Structure formats: C-alpha cells, structure tokens
Amino acid sequence: MRVRNKPWAKENIEAAPQYVVSEPEIWRGRWEERFGNTQPLHIEVGSGKGQFIYGMAKAHPEINYIAIEIQQSVLIDILDKQLAEPLANLQILHVDGGSVTDYFSPHEISQIYLNFSDPWPKSRHAKRRLTYHTFLKGYQEILPPEGELHFKTDNRGLFEYSLASFSQYGMILKQVWLDLHASDFEGNIMTEYEEKFSAKGQPIYRVEAYFPA
C-alpha cells in the first residue's frame, strides 16, 4: 500500500510509548505484565489504519490485542484512534510481521488476524505475502497447538494462493467463506479496505485455519 509521507509520524509515535511499544522485544514472554492481566492475546499483522483491531478491542474488552504495522505513516492513524478514546486492551507495534518470534514467545498468542494483506501478484514477490510459508512458520511458533489464523481479503488470487499455502504447510482449513457479507457470519468488524471493496460490490473471502497439534 502506497501512502503519503507524514513527517510528523515518528515524533507522534515516540511521544506515545504507552500505546506504541518502543522496544517490543523486551516484552517477549511478558505481555501479560504489559497489559496488567492474563487475558488471551490476539494480534493482527498488517493492521493499516486500524479500524478492525480498534473495533475488535472495543467490542471485546476481555481479550488483549496487538496491532502490527510496518509503515509509520499508516500506524499513526491507529495511534490517533487510541489517543481519541484509549482502550486499555490495545497496544501497537511498529515492526515487520515476518519477525513475530522476536516479540512473542511460543504459544503466547491465542489468535492471529490477517486482513486484506498486500497481494504481491508477481511470483517473484511471493515471499513477501503474509501467507507465504516463512510467515506461517513464525505464526505457528507463537500460537498454541490448534491456534487459529483468520484471514479476509477481496483478492481472489491471494485467497486461492493462501488456501494452497495453508494446506501445503499442513494447516487445517476449519471454515471458508466465498462471500462473507452474504453469509450469516455474526460479529464481523470491517476493515478500511473491506469497506472500500465491498462498496464496489466485490465479494469478501474469509478463512479460518489452524495448525494441528
């Protein structure tokens, strides 16, 4: 995703270490301390402007959430939401989702969300897709056995690729939706991209998959 450079983003992020964790590696294995409770911890990789993760955190105060976003200029929008109405169960990391094992210990995460991940359609860029097997390896390490990965996208090519990638990795596909908004799925929180693409009439694909014990 291309975004406008926001020169003030770095400064604003550094001014809010209570929400954007400045040294996430020191909390590896200790996120319960950071949140001050032992609630389950869910992460989203590639949160963008954070509408989904902020909405989830608001709807589920009994779960802790961490937004992971690699671009400062986008992450700043998640921070703005937190500053406007702070949620105690939401933290933000400015890191690469390919390095999750640096920030979370084995089994520390109960569930992972990927939403409208960049499709990287050229095969030579496949290894950048957040559902490429090297990313799956990291997710598997931090989830418990049978820990789930939930993925939504409008991109049929990425969806098909990801289903194949999950299966080849040995993951179990628990449920698949080919048109989420036409289904009876309850409690869906829309992402910014989801709003944009579904308004154009595009179906939203969704899968819940897990790594077997």
Q: Which 148-207 residues touch ligand SAM, going by CB under 6 A?
A: 191-194
Residue 61, number of CB atoms within 10 A of its CB:
12
118 is catalytic: yes
**With binding defined as CB under 6 A, does residue 35 bind ligand SAM?**
no
Q: Which 37-96 residues touch ligand SAM, going by CB under 6 A?
A: 45-48, 68-71, 74, 96
**Residue, CB closest to ligand SAM:** 48
Q: Which of 80, 118, 179, 184 is catalytic?
A: 118
C-alpha dist (Å) from residue 3 to 71, 75, 142, 161:
9, 11, 30, 26
Q: Which of 27, 35, 116, 166 binds ligand SAM (CB under 6 A)?
A: 116
CB neighbour burial string for 21-32, b if at least 16 within 10 angstroms, e if fewer: beebeebeeebe
Task: Select 98 or 144, whichever has its Cβ closest to ligand SAM.
Answer: 98
CA angle 112, 73, 61 (to 5 degrees): 40
First to last CA, the chain: 35
Binding site for ligand SAM (CB under 6 A): 1, 45-48, 68-71, 74, 96-98, 115-118, 191-194
